[in-house]
Chains A and B, each alone.
Chain A
Amino acid sequence: MALPKYTEPHYRIWHYVYLTICSAVFFFLIAPLFVIFPLSFNAEEFLVFSDGMKRLDPDAFSLRWYQDMIYGTKNPWGLAAKNSFIIAIFATIGSVLLGTVAALGLSSRHMPYKGLIMAVLISPMIVPLIISGVAIFFFMAKVGLAATHTGIVLAHIILGTPFVVITVTATLSGFDHSVTRAAASLGSNPVNTFMKITLPLILPGVISGGLFAFVTSFDEVVVVLFLAGLENTTIPVQMWTGLREQLSPTILAVATCLIILSTLILVTAELLRRRSERLRGINR
């Protein structure tokens, strides 16, 4: 953003003030995440930078908290990670299936009561999690699914489907319906048309909706806190307990792993978004 030569001085000053403000905000957004990295390699037990770390003394750094995370005897992280992945994977599959099918119906121009139905389907995303948690807990307790993996998976499907519905309907909004008509006129049945024509075209939207559903489930703690028993503990629940009780650097080791995971997800999501835009012919 180079300024033209004729810019008057006070606008020039204003421009630099503006850029400074922007940099400060970007710093505020991203910097907190980077505090976690170095501290997770701390050789000491405290969550502050030791003098050794400030001097970059190699002895002040260690991998002991990562070792503790993986091999620690009293550590629930292994179980939590297993549970988190199982629950998130099943919740993602459920959300993607239900959400994609519903999105197909919703983007049909024949759909009756579209606005109302959309509002109901999106509501789990808007209603505060604590209320969803209470309501879902009452339901699961009634049908005997509290403190089971199934109950948590179902709860996460509820919370995850709005994201899939939104992303897939967005992809379908730029969808050229004449291609499916062409397929039909060439003798393809609806299922075949969907698998061979529609799905490949909307796949980026489906996958990015799936990513949202995965992250929602993987990161969700409020509802799980109501539903989970000891065996259903997940990574966020463990972090929650850890942060409330004793803030040990092991949590930071876990957090570092989670940041790496979210970076991977971000990259995937971005690539998909660009691919989807290219496919839909949107040039930004």
Chain B
Amino acid sequence: MSSENKQILTTDGIPLEVSLKKAEKKNKIKAFLLVAPLLLFIIITYVFPIGDMLMRSVDDKMVTEMLPKTYKSMEKWDGKELPPEEVFKAFYTDFQKLIEEEKEGKLSTQLNYTKNGFKSIIKKLRRKSKSFEEGNYKEQIMAVHRRWADVEYWRAIKRRAPAYTYQKYLKGMDMYENEKGKIVNVPEDRRVHRILWLRTLEIAFFVTVFCFLMAYPIAHLLATLPMKYSNLLMICVLLPFWTSLLVRTASWMILLQQQGIVNDFFVMIGLVSDDNRLEMMFNKTGSYVAMTQILLPFMVLPLYSVMKTISPSLMRAGKSLGGTPFVAFWKVYFPLTIPGIGAGCLLVFILAIGYYITPALVGGASGTLISNQIAFHMKSTLDWSFASAMGLMLLSGVLVIYWLYNKLVGIDNIKLG
């Protein structure tokens, strides 16, 4: 064949193409081996644990494993009326075993998540079951408390039968599966999470807007001033950037308190009277002000790095072609800064949506965000599976933005300082 005749050979007599491919492959492996340690480290200590969170958030084996006989006997029960004697008997057997292992407290906590009111009746059952006689467990259990004779509670137990559940996700959106298996909203007065999600989005959105409005002019000034001045002013942006988050939050706590300097100033200029000082801390205002100042550098830096590359002659050209400075700015300069705006806004929004420390310290009850709720469930209620579910809901939102960011800006274009 003619193509074979034309094939170029290396000095060893191997076709050049093969030899090149071999070298290429070697280089690929070399490059990959360099990345491998970090990649493995991150996957094992970080990516897998996030997967573990996912498992935890849907895992519902606990109750299933605590009441194995009950669930077996419940298979035939249609849930319309009170279950037959065999279910009660199986429940009694399971329950006795749990008392032996001292696990009945866990059961009551778990069942209480599904339906309120289990805690007390399980306690009572534990006390009374010591004197139970053999046979006719249905009557005996029902006699302990009238709720044990309520079919709703038995349906609640049955609902915990599957080993996996999406209940925690529903709970995170203030919804639940009712007795008939329909997904419905919880009563209005008990909706807490939806308010928090909306507030988180609202605060993140407005903080991003405020940051943009404040960062744009100063980034422009920094990019157009001569080097010796702009370097000096850059310190004003970089010093807060490098300063501890807690230090900056502390300074806002001092400034915004009722006897603080901001209030002093307002009193001095007569904006408010001395006995009527504004409450700016432990509410939304506190979260807004502190978060805007803390996240501002993250908006200034990407804007600055984009504006720095825009040649000033473009604006001059725009003006010389008859545009007023405003027209030249709007039609020429502004469109060129859009990549920087996108980068800055996405970065600030991502950071704001997951903020925890600052809202917890200056936000009070009305300024806390979804992160605070996650921390609350991790530390106080110890409902880790719910915390995981909320965390993953937040994460999926962030990942969408991260993906967008990657599409628009490119993840390797992130610049620091």
Interface of chain A residues 8 through 29 with chain B (CB within 8 A): 11, 18-19, 21-22, 25-26, 28-29
Closest B residue to A211 by CB, please name it.
B242
Decide yes or no whether B52 CB sits under 8 A from chain A: yes
Interface stretch among B134-142, B144-152, B370-378? B370-378
Contacts of A136 in B (CB 8 A): 45-46, 49
Annotate B366-393 by CB proximity to A: 1 below 8 A, 0 otherwise. Answer: 0000010011001000001001100110
Interface stretch among B114-122, B191-199, B218-226? B218-226
Contacts of B37 in A (CB 8 A): 98, 101-102
Decide yes or no whether A79 CB sits under 8 A from chain B: no
Interface of chain B residues 336 through 381 with chain A (CB within 8 A): 350, 353-357, 360-361, 371, 374-375, 378
Contacts of B394 in A (CB 8 A): 128, 130-131
A218–B387 CA distance with the chains assembled, in angstroms: 26
Decide yes or no whether B66 CB sits under 8 A from chain A: no
Nearest Cβ distance between residue B360 and chain A, in whole angstroms?
Answer: 8
Nearest Cβ distance between residue B205 and chain A, in whole angstroms?
Answer: 16
Tally A-B pairs: CB < 8 A.
271
Nearest Cβ distance between residue A221 and chain B, in whole angstroms?
Answer: 6
**Once the chains bind, are A138 and B411 in contact (CB under 8 Å)?**
no
Annotate A209-234 by CB proximity to B: 1 below 8 A, 0 otherwise. Answer: 00010010011011001100000000
Contacting B246 at CB < 8 Å: which of A105, A130, A243? Answer: A243
**Once the chains bind, are A139 and B49 in contact (CB under 8 Å)?**
yes
Interface of chain B residues 378 through 417 with chain A (CB within 8 A): 378, 384, 387-388, 391-392, 394-395, 398, 402, 406, 411-412, 414-417
Q: Known contacts being A128-B395, A131-B50, A208-B417, is A26 close to B41, with CB within 8 Å?
A: no
A255–B24 CA distance with the chains assembled, in angstroms: 53
Nearest Cβ distance between residue B307 and chain A, in whole angstroms?
Answer: 12
A119–B412 CA distance with the chains assembled, in angstroms: 9
A270–B227 CA distance with the chains assembled, in angstroms: 14
Nearest Cβ distance between residue B134 and chain A, in whole angstroms?
Answer: 43
Task: State the majority secondary structure of interface residues on A.
Answer: helix
Closest A residue to B54 by CB, please name it.
A135
Annotate B219-246 by CB proximity to A: 1 below 8 A, 0 otherwise. Answer: 0010011010000010111111011111
A115–B50 CA distance with the chains assembled, in angstroms: 21
**Once the chains bind, are A120 and B39 in contact (CB under 8 Å)?**
yes
Contacts of A239 in B (CB 8 A): 244, 246-247, 250
Assign chain A's interface to a size class: 35 or more
Nearest Cβ distance between residue A219 and chain B, in whole angstroms?
Answer: 5
Nearest Cβ distance between residue B312 and chain A, in whole angstroms?
Answer: 11
Most chain A Cβ neighbours within 10 Å, of B247, B251, B254, B325: B247
Interface stretch among A61-69, A70-78, A155-163, A180-188? A155-163
Nearest Cβ distance between residue B323 and chain A, in whole angstroms?
Answer: 13
Q: Known contacts being A36-B254, A128-B353, A129-B356, is A105 close to B33, with CB within 8 Å?
A: yes
**Once the chains bind, are A101 and B38 in contact (CB under 8 Å)?**
yes
Nearest Cβ distance between residue A134 and chain B, in whole angstroms?
Answer: 5
A19–B222 CA distance with the chains assembled, in angstroms: 11
**Once the chains bind, are B354 and A110 in contact (CB under 8 Å)?**
no
Q: Known contacts being A11-B325, A259-B243, is A135 close to B46, with CB within 8 Å?
A: yes
Contacts of B53 in A (CB 8 A): 131, 134-135, 138
**Once the chains bind, are A22 and B218 in contact (CB under 8 Å)?**
yes
Contacting A226 at CB < 8 Å: which of B24, B233, B378, B414? Answer: B378
Nearest Cβ distance between residue B343 and chain A, in whole angstroms?
Answer: 13
Decide yes or no whether A112 CB sits under 8 A from chain B: yes
Nearest Cβ distance between residue A214 and chain B, in whole angstroms?
Answer: 11
**Once the chains bind, are A119 and B406 in contact (CB under 8 Å)?**
yes
Decide yes or no whether A106 CB sits under 8 A from chain B: yes
Closest 7 CB pairs of A and B: A128-B354, A105-B34, A105-B35, A108-B31, A102-B38, A135-B49, A110-B27
**Chain A to chain B contacts (Cβ below 8 Å), 16 pairs:** A1-B221, A22-B221, A28-B296, A30-B239, A46-B259, A105-B36, A120-B47, A128-B398, A135-B49, A163-B416, A208-B416, A221-B357, A236-B244, A243-B249, A255-B244, A262-B239
